[in-house]
Structure 1
Amino acid sequence: MKLYTFNGLAKVLLGTALLLGPTSCSDFLDEKDPSNLTPGSFYTIPDHAEAAIAATYSNLRFYGDGSGIFSSNWQMLEAVTGTSTTETAQNSDLNNLYSLSYDGNTQHIINYWNGLYRLIANANLVLEKVPPITPMPDAQKNKILGEARFLRAWGYFNIVRLWGDAPLITTPQTASSEDFFPARASQEEIYNFIVEDLKAAEAAGLAWMDISGRVNLAAVKSLLSKVYLTMAGFPLSKGASHYKLSADKALEVITYANANPTVINLFPTYKDVHRESLKNRVEHIFQIQYNAVVAGNPMDNYYPNFKPVTFSGPGGTGSSVPTRSFYDSFEPGDLRTKDQEGWFYTSYFTNGNGARFELGAPYVFKHFNQTSNGSEGIAGTRNNNLNVPLIRYAEVLLIFAEAQNELGAPTQAAYDAYKKVRDRATLTTPALGTFTQASFREAVWRERWYEFCYEGITWFDMVRLRKVFNEKTKSFDNFVGHVNLNTNVPLAEKHLLFPLGIQEMLNNPNLKPQNPGYN
């Protein structure tokens, strides 16, 4: 693993230290040179702990960082699903992701690895350096440590699903660390560590929801239910025991939501999902935080290629756009396909707020910020402060429906959770008695494809299920051999994992061998 030095974190922490520092001349003269701050000398007061966890949160934003011309890191998880394509084809690495011909030199893959381990490195610093801070209120300390555990678990949950066996780094590293060149831990070991972290976060005294965007109890329970669901499927195949753990944990969130519907619920409209004023509320259980002052929303590669849908006029790259085959596969009448009402738009307003014009194709509306870009007759603010969703309540409902069904047959509670998601789409759901376990299983999978498209979720479903939605037959193919219609290239066994970065393997020979099928 690469060594992530303290320099980047120190810059973030230094800004807080200077803002909070003393102002008198004598105090200033007595202060140590702030440029000499180290992890050992910095963590001394509660404000330092708060600054450190803030820096860890900021590492989540690697998701939206650039990856060459007309591309961002997040596109890695969309290009490979077959549900999106490109109008520009200017980025060779992104093209290789679309065509399933990527390798260990593909920049998006390298950036994902570096970004996730940087997040983990800073979480490890918090978990080691915050406990000794005295005096510090126990509730504040426990909360910060719980947040760090969640963020580290989220990082490893992504790593283990993308690369399988991987280094399991649990403490801050220096050049003299015993495991400075770590070997890869098994997937089971990593999953067990993730569960341990999330259980610790669950006991950290977090509030059920937190509109500031910090980790909350609902997020911890939701992620844990998703981890259990993944462990139940491939590659660990834990089966019934973990389907039950998943269903039970999701039910805890649903039970709280039913008792507190103004706190956790589905939004009444799909527009609310990408309404800037509703960040970190109701359906949004956990999000990556964005604010144009620090970092604006990074999803602009979903904009059409040089069509004037925003205040900027003709712009956008169109480097991630829906495939027509996926868009056309939605059920007739599904509100999610309605222009500017659901996940797509087929027309918009010139320069954001002018005359309506037809786009000629469907584009992703799910991440479109009308507050920033403008809407009919209303000029935009030009500041895209929209967050990126990581966990929505809709997913908790469908996790519960899927996991509960795997315990024998669809129950009324599983059916109700499934139906609640479809009701918002204004779809008629067949009666519970018409479903078998097998047909309900595929119905829930299909709903996941439609509800969570373009949120970085579909690829992970493909891998854990070893199944892929076939847009022509509306059924599910085996992963190996399924043909992605965006490029007409079949998925192979090797695609179940991404390759490790070539340079990373040169830096650390203990990472060998490369994942199967890659050079």
Structure 2
Amino acid sequence: MRFTSKNISTLLLTGSLWMTAGCSDFLREEDPSNIAPATFFTVPEHAQAIVDGTYENLRFHGDGAGIFSANFQMLDAFSGTAETETGQNSDLNNLYSFQHTGDNLHLSQWWRQLYEGIGNANLAIEKIPTIPRITEADQKKWVGHAKFLRAFHYFWLVRLWGDVPLLTKPIYAFTDADVTPKRGSVADVYNLIVADLLDAEAAGLPMTELNGRASGAAVKSLLANVYLTMAGFPLNKGAEYYKKAADKAKEVIDFGTASPDKINLFTNYADLHNNATENRLEHIFAIQYAAGIANSNYQSYFLPNNTNITASGEVGTTVPTASFLSSFEAGDKRMVEKEFFFKSYYDGGNGAVFPLTKSYVFKHFDAIANGVPGTSGTGNAGLNYPLIRFAEVLLIYAEAQNEVGGPTTDTYDAVNRIRNRADLGDLSGLSQAQFREAVWRERWHELCYEGITWFDMIRLHKVYVDGSNTFVDFVGATLSTAVTLQQKHLLLPLPAGDFRNNPNLRPDNPGW
């Protein structure tokens, strides 16, 4: 059954399967699509079904947004570290040039899909406790999953749009008051996010999880990220929240120290995009895909446009800028061919070496889909997309703890673990200000092309100048893509359709 809010989004009880290569029980679930709530939440198994349907919504991230574009590309387009090789998609090109308006397809799809996931989570949170014969432990666990997902969706929304409608109950009919909601404040949205994550943290989830659902480590890592963001713009909660972020990240780091076979950095960068290592060690939480069942269609957007070097599609609409590539330190292993980037591949995926005219992103490269020497690619990508890596947790800790009282042995250790993997020397002897910017630089380089850089820019109100390896204020900064940023760019305009249909959303964000 479909639950529709005509002015915000289409809120669906999808019941779709949340499928992973490593969790066969997901693949055996019956599809409960189009089943009404009155006849659905009747047996304990339905709790897992609605939660798995909510996890499935995360795949909107890689869904198409017009020709040669996908939703996830919006974040990298804003970062100044990427450009496109095609001109066919005006919506995507307008993001790169910051000429976007509320009519941009990417904006409307992010808004709609985030509220769709929130709608599913709200339904799960309300209905799971009413299911007959469900145990208290299972009720707590599945509601915990739903609250983690609601928090994640709202975390995206509040950073992109600021004040947004704060919906915490399902919408069942056009007569519901929440069909035309007012915008909640940024502070209220963050209060809900934190409350949801604290509930999820207390839900009894295992610290690590191989099946693709959230683990205790995923909850703690996301909460650390939320606290770090709250410490910066626009809430500016400062030292108290930097301390909260550091403490929560340290819980994950300490678990990894005690159990390095469960949470750790990968030794080899290749394991970041190895199907066999999904949901393991460094991969704390990811969007789940399975080749031939739920293909990871984001693959083609990182590959050079129309070269036929692989067995899968090639679009070339998220391409590293030359200036960003030149900003990596000399000797950085991430710049070695086929580590984070590549400048040649094999004709057809498994033939002779095929040189490219520039470097492209390799950190998301699916070798099974694209082919390797001696083995043809399948053409179907099933590689997960990372949302939380242990590398980010280390950098959250290093940044936050430094803000509490300057660099310490532990903060140096956290950032140097990442630098050492890149064959770079240890940081040492830095002032608090020097260490701060050193960690920011590591975030820009280690976490590039993972949809993180833009959010760093707006929480810090800073922009990395790759030509000088320095940071400048956001407003007035000129990106390597020749865009000069304005105050209004810190938030997106509200999607035009919703803005026109719901007078309670007005006024629009400043400058739009």
How far apart, CA to CA, are the structure 2 residues paired with 1:284 and 1:407? 27
CA distance in structure 1 between the aligned counterparts of 2:491 and 2:347, rounded to whole angstroms: 42
Residues 1:511 and 1:409: Cα distance change in structure 2 (over 3 Å): same
Alignment deviations for residues 91-139 of structure 1 (CA, whole Å, 9 cap, x no partner): 0011100001101000000000001000000000000111011211222
Q: Deviations over 1:447-475 (max 9, x none)?
A: 00000100000000000000010011100
**Aligned equivalent of 2:202:** 203
C-alpha separation in 1, matches of 2:322 and 2:284: 31
Q: Where do 1:361-440 residues align within 5 Å?
A: 361-430=358-427, 432=428, 434-440=429-435
The residue aligned with 1:481 is 476
Give 3-state SS (helix, strand or coil) of 2:393's partner.
helix
Aligned residues of 1:405 and 1:414 also touching (Cα < 8 A): yes
- Contact preservation (8 Å) 1:3, 1:173: no
1:51 aligns with 2:49: yes
Residue 250 of structure 1 is matched in structure 2 by: 249
Name structure 1 gaps, 5 residues minimum.
Answer: 22-33
Q: Does 1:463 align with 2:458?
A: yes
After TM superposition, the structure 1 = structure 2 runs for residues 58-457 of structure 1, keeping only pairs within 5 Å, are: 58-174=56-172, 175-299=174-298, 300-312=300-312, 315-340=313-338, 342-430=339-427, 432=428, 434-457=429-452
Equivalent pair of 1:246/1:403 in contact (CA under 8 Å): yes
Contact in 2 for aligned 1:6/1:38 (Cα 8 Å)? no
- TM (norm. structure 2) is 0.94
1:440 aligned counterpart, secondary structure: helix
Partner of 1:29: none
> What's the offset of the Cα at 1:302?
0.8
1:292 Cα deviation after fit: 2.3
1:505 aligned residue: 499
CA contact (8 A) 2:274 2:366 kept: yes
CA offsets, 1:236-283, max 9 Å, x none? 000000000000000000000000000000000111000011111110
Relative to structure 1, the CA distance from residue 43 to residue 257 in structure 2 (aligned partners, 3 Å threshold; closer, same or farther) is: same
Contact residue 82 and residue 485 of structure 1 kept, 8 A = yes
Which consecutive residues of structure 2, in runs of 5 or more, have no partner in the other structure? 19-25
Residue in 2 aligned with 1:27?
none
What is the alpha-carbon distance in structure 2 between the residues aligned to residue 412 and residue 144 of structure 1? 39
Amino acid at match of 1:82: G
> Secondary structure of the equivalent of 1:67?
coil
Once the two structures are TM-superposed, the CA of residue 154 in structure 1 deviates from its matched residue by 0.2
- CA distance 1:451–1:161, change in 2 (3 Å): same
1:386-427 deviations in whole A, cap 9, x for unaligned?
Answer: 000000000000000000000121010001000001011000
With over 3 angstroms needed to count, the CA separation of the structure-2 counterparts of 1:189 and 1:414, relative to structure 1, is same
Local SS of the residue matching 2:177: coil
Q: Separation in 2 of the partners of 1:11 and 1:417?
A: 39
Q: Secondary structure at the match of 2:354?
A: strand
Q: Structure 1 length as normaliser, TM-score?
A: 0.93
Distance 1:377 1:7, change over 3 A: same
TM-superposed CA distance for 1:40, in Å, is 2.2
CA distance in structure 2 between the partners assigned to 1:454 and 1:479 by the alignment: 19
For 1:428 and 1:376, the matched residues in 2 are separated by 34
Q: Structure 1 pair 107/35, CA: closer, same or farther in 2 (3 Å)?
A: closer
- Matched to 2:14, the amino acid is L
Which one-letter code corresponds to 1:478 in the other structure?
Answer: D
Instruction: Tell me the distance in 1 between the aligned counterparts of 2:270 and 2:161.
Output: 35
Report the counterpart of residue 9 of structure 1 in structure 2.
Answer: 14
Question: 1: distance between equivalents of 2:292 and 2:141?
Answer: 27
- In structure 2, how many angstroms separate the alpha carbons of the residues matched to 1:418 and 1:12? 38
1-structure distance, mates of 2:127, 2:325: 49
State the distance in 2 between where 1:11 and 1:261 align.
Answer: 34
Give 3-state SS (helix, strand or coil) of 1:345's partner: strand
2:490 to 493, 496, 506: 496
Q: Write the mapping of 1:29-40 to structure 2, written as runs, cut at 5 A.
A: 37-40=35-38
Distance 1:279 1:36 in 2: 31
The answer to whether the Cα contact below 8 Å between 1:10 and 1:38 also exists between their aligned partners in 2 is no
Give structure 1 regions of 4+ aligned residues with deviation exceeding 3 angstroms.
1-8, 10-13, 18-21, 34-37
Return the letter of the residue paired with 1:97.
L
Q: Name the SS of the counterpart of 2:263 in structure 1.
A: coil
Which of the two has higher C-alpha Rg? 1
The CA deviation string for residues 64-86 of structure 1, in whole angstroms up to 9 with x for no partner, is 11001100001100111110001
Q: Say whether the 8 Å CA contact 2:15–2:54 is kept in structure 1.
A: no
| One-letter code aligned to 2:487 | E
Count of matched residue positions in the alignment of Structure 1 and Structure 2: 497
Rounded Cα–Cα distance in structure 2 between residues aligned with 1:307 and 1:76:
24
Q: CA deviation at 1:37?
A: 3.4
**Residue 113 and residue 243 in structure 1: after superposition, are their counterparts in 2 closer, same or farther (change >3 A)?**
same
User: Helix, strand or coil for the counterpart of 2:309?
Assistant: strand
The residue type equivalent to 2:103 in the other structure is N
Q: For residue 507 of structure 1, report the CA deviation from its aligned partner.
A: 1.7
8 Å CA contact 2:295–2:380 kept in 1: the answer is yes
Q: What CA distance in whole angstroms lies between the structure 2 residues aligned with 1:230 and 1:428?
A: 29
Distance in 2 between residues matched to 1:209 and 1:383, nearest whole Å = 28
Q: CA RMSD in A?
A: 1.8
Q: Give the CA deviation at 1:5.
A: 5.8
Aligned to 1:308, the other structure's residue is in SS state: coil
C-alpha contact (below 8 Å) 1:181/1:508 kept by paired residues:
yes
